Amino acid sequence: MRSFKSLVLILGALISVSNAINVVSTNDDGWAEQNIRVLFNDLVAAGYNVVLSAPALDKSGTGSSDAPATTLASACEFNSCPKGSPAEGSDASNSRLNYVNSFPVTSVRFGIQTLSPQFFGGPPDIVVSGPNVGANLGSTTQISGTVGAACEAVKEGIPAIAFSGSTGSQIGFTAAAPSPNYPSIYATLSTTITNTLTSTAKPFLPAGIFLNVNFPSTSSCTSASKFSFVLSRINSASSGTPADVSTCGTTRLPTESSVVGTKGCFVSISVGNATTKDDATAASQATVLSKLSSLLSCI
């Protein structure tokens, strides 16, 4: 017979799990790439209830392409599953790590519609996409699979963040950590932003809105503590573009390219429209500014 103390501990663990924020993690670089696995581990360590659902192969630059998943005609990336594996599958030692042999959009939809009910008993609270290997700045958002997956989540009614980092190359999750350890730095920064957003009241983001986050190079920014976060816009404003939210003494936000390109360690956080993958309205920017105010700074 269990002691009263052990029953209290079990009950506490169950309450903790039931109160955890449910997250679907995805990307376009593939389910076995190091960036996504390091972020998965960081989010779990931070107390999130996470399921990973990402392409079996590198699908970078595929935007919002979508197609039914098919049996693997070759091995998964980094030989993470054998040729002939089923269209959807999971790691033998962790059923929360899942691949889909198709595009990022297809993968995140599988995570939301199929895996989330199994693991969460319903839809996720938020989707995190990336961190992508390489920046997704300005017009690149139109072809980015990382952004495409985040936008698909928003269309499914789930708030989403697309994370991308300037440093890195395609490496498997079993490879030795690079130096500087950019996957760890980017994962810490991604978790920090996710923590700040999900500590606010629901809905975490306005309807139809995603966040496009870009991290600068880690060549001189060698620890997460060195970074600052700046609210930005995806594309340059034309002469007829309505004013942005008023912050840092101006009604025109800096572009994410200019933020990431500024000397120092500045992270750009842009507020995007999931339908157009362009900048959202000043009203949506204002909501995000309010939610992330404790994190944001000015250049």
- Is 225 one of the annotated active-site residues of the chain? no
Residue 121's region, left for phi above 0, alpha for psi from -120 to 50, else beta, is left
283 pLDDT more than 80: yes
pLDDT in tens, 197-217: 999 999 999 999 999 999 999
Tokens of 4: 């009263």
Task: Give the distance, in angstroms, between the CA of residue 238 and the centroid of all CA atoms in the same chain.
Answer: 29
Distances 166 to 53, 146, 231 between C-alpha atoms, Å:
23, 14, 18
d(CA 65, CA 135): 19
92 pLDDT more than 80: yes
Whole-number pLDDT of residue 12: 43
Instruction: Using pLDDT thresholds of 50, 70 and 90, give the confidence band for residue 3.
Output: very low
Residue 158's region, left for phi above 0, alpha for psi from -120 to 50, else beta, is beta
Element (H, E) at 9: helix 4-19
Q: Which of 47, 58, 41 is nearest to 171 (CA)?
A: 58
Instruction: Using pLDDT thresholds of 50, 70 and 90, give the confidence band for residue 17.
Output: very low
Q: Which of 279, 280, 282, 209 is nearest to 244 (CA)?
A: 282
Rounded mean pLDDT, 152-164: 98
Catalytic residue among 90, 107, 116, 164: 164
Tokens of 202: 């629901």
Q: What residue segments make up the domains of the chain, in order of their start?
A: 20-291
1 pLDDT more than 50: no
d(CA 291, CA 295): 9
83 pLDDT more than 80: yes
Q: Which of 71, 43, 76, 42 is nearest to 59 (CA)?
A: 76
d(CA 54, CA 100): 6
171 pLDDT more than 90: yes
Residue burial 52-68, b: 16+ Cβ < 10 Å; e: rest: bbbbbbbbbebbbbeee
pLDDT in tens, 233-275: 999 999 999 999 999 999 999 999 999 999 999 999 999 999 9
d(CA 298, CA 262): 12
Residues 6+ apart with CB under 8 A from 31: 52, 53, 54, 55, 56, 76, 77, 80, 97, 98, 99
Whole-number pLDDT of residue 19: 77
Element (H, E) at 51: strand 49-55
d(CA 261, CA 265): 9
> What is the architecture of the domain spanning 20-291?
3-Layer(aba) Sandwich (3.40)
pLDDT in tens, 133-153: 999 999 999 999 999 999 999
